[in-house]
């Protein structure tokens, strides 16, 4: 199942083939399935439910259909030692096919063996890789579960993230005035100089024990012999404290404004909150259930904080207590990405035990 799914091209915003595949699989498993179309997107988010045969409470599992690029023409190669890789020209797509394959095989196993379970809800998104863009349009009113698991973490099975950050992206345009750099540079207002003065005043990287700031790109100017009239800077802020992330965004804006005013220039500033930070306590049901399932597999559960975001940020904000679970993906977002047969089996068994706990 994993190898079959890997061969389906599904880069972000181009997930229609994967969506069609999943809809057919869910129908084969006699699951109710609904697509949530999104204007401008090739495919919509999916909600599917495998109806329970007991009165146990429902439980949710989430994953995403898209992969990063290069992801066109990918296929799986199984090596003698059990490793599964791409041919080295594309990503493998274990992020997040290993999750989807684990869910499918677990549900098939439950169905084939008539194992007792409550409703199993699957929340599958599109365009997760670009800052969880797809799940922003998810109809959360359909989800009945109080707890959920997002299989979308690199590392050995048994690892889970109980804390993740807010992510805020920002864009700053510094607006100066052009002039000839040789004849009359004093008549210009040097936008690049203003930007560099502002950036030099702002810490980069870990600005405290909760928050990181990064200036990622800079562009602008019209020529080597022209005082640059405009430059545009983009970056991001990540923080385990949402209010601290907002404060740093305001600080960045204020610093650029101060430097611009000194030179009679101006700025345009915009920011966007992609996801908000959360932390799940270790004594919560979603964590203890995970630990119990790991115990059945003789795995040592390891709980961490992650600086990466996922759809789980949105689920927690909507009141669904969830954690992000490692699911047999390694070296993600690179052509060196790989998984192993052994880890895929563990990921599927973990999903199974969580579903029937």
Cα gap 162→147, rounded to integer Å: 13
Q: Which domains does the chain have, with CATH numbers?
A: 2-164+277-356 (3.40.630.10), 166-275 (3.30.70.360)
Are 61 and 120 in contact by the 8 Å Cβ rule? The answer is: yes
Q: What are phi and psi of 27, to 5 degrees?
A: -65, -40
* The two structure tokens encoding residue 229: 């009239």
Residues in contact with 121: Cβ distance below 8 Å, sequence separation at least 6, in sequence order: 47, 48, 49, 58, 59, 60, 61, 143, 144, 145, 148
- Catalytic machinery residues: 66, 128
Question: pLDDT of the chain along its 357 residues, tens only?
Answer: 999 999 999 999 999 999 999 999 999 999 999 999 999 999 999 999 999 999 999 999 999 999 999 999 999 999 999 999 999 999 999 999 999 999 999 999 999 999 999 999 999 999 999 999 999 999 999 999 999 999 999 999 999 999 999 999 999 999 999 999 999 999 999 999 999 999 999 999 999 999 999 999 999 999 999 999 999 999 999 999 999 999 999 999 999 999 999 999 999 999 999 999 999 999 999 999 999 999 999 999 999 999 999 999 999 999 999 999 999 999 999 999 999 999 999 999 999 999 997
Measured CA to CA, the distance from residue 263 to residue 255 in angstroms comes to: 13
């Amino acid at each position: 199942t994993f190898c079959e799914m890997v061969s389906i091209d599904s880069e972000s915003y181009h997930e229609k083939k994967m969506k069609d595949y999943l809809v057919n699989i869910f129908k084969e498993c006699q699951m109710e399935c609904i697509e949530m179309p999104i204007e401008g997107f090739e495919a919509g988010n999916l909600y599917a439910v495998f109806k329970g045969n007991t009165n146990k409470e429902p439980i949710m599992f989430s994953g995403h259909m898209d992969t990063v690029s290069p992801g066109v023409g990918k296929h799986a190669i199984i090596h003698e030692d059990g490793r599964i890789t791409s041919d080295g020209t594309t990503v493998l797509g274990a992020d997040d096919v290993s999750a989807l394959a684990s869910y499918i095989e677990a549900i098939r196993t439950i169905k084939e063996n008539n194992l007792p379970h409550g409703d199993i809800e699957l929340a599958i998104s599109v365009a997760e890789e670009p800052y969880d863009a797809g799940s922003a349009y998810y109809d959360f009113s359909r989800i009945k579960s109080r707890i959920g698991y997002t299989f979308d973490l690199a590392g050995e099975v048994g690892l889970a993230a109980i804390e993740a950050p807010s992510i805020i992206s920002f864009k700053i345009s510094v607006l100066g005035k052009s002039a000839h750099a040789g004849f009359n540079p004093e008549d210009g207002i040097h936008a690049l100089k203003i930007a560099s003065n502002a950036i030099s005043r702002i810490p980069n990287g870990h600005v405290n024990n909760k928050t990181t700031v990064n200036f990622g790109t800079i562009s602008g100017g019209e020529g080597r012999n022209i005082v640059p009239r405009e430059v545009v800077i983009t970056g991001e802020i990540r923080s385990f404290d949402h209010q601290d992330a907002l404060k740093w965004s305001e600080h960045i804006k204020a610093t650029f404004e101060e430097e611009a005013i000194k030179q009679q220039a101006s700025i345009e500033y915009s920011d966007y909150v992609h996801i908000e930070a959360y932390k799940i306590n270790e004594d919560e049901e979603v964590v203890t259930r995970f630990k119990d399932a790991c115990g059945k597999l003789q795995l040592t559960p390891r709980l961490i904080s992650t600086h990466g975001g996922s759809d789980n940020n949105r689920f927690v904000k909507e009141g669904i207590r969830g954690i992000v679970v490692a699911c047999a993906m390694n070296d993600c977002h690179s052509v060196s990405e790989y998984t192993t047969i052994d880890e895929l089996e563990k990921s599927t068994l973990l999903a199974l035990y969580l579903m029937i706990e």
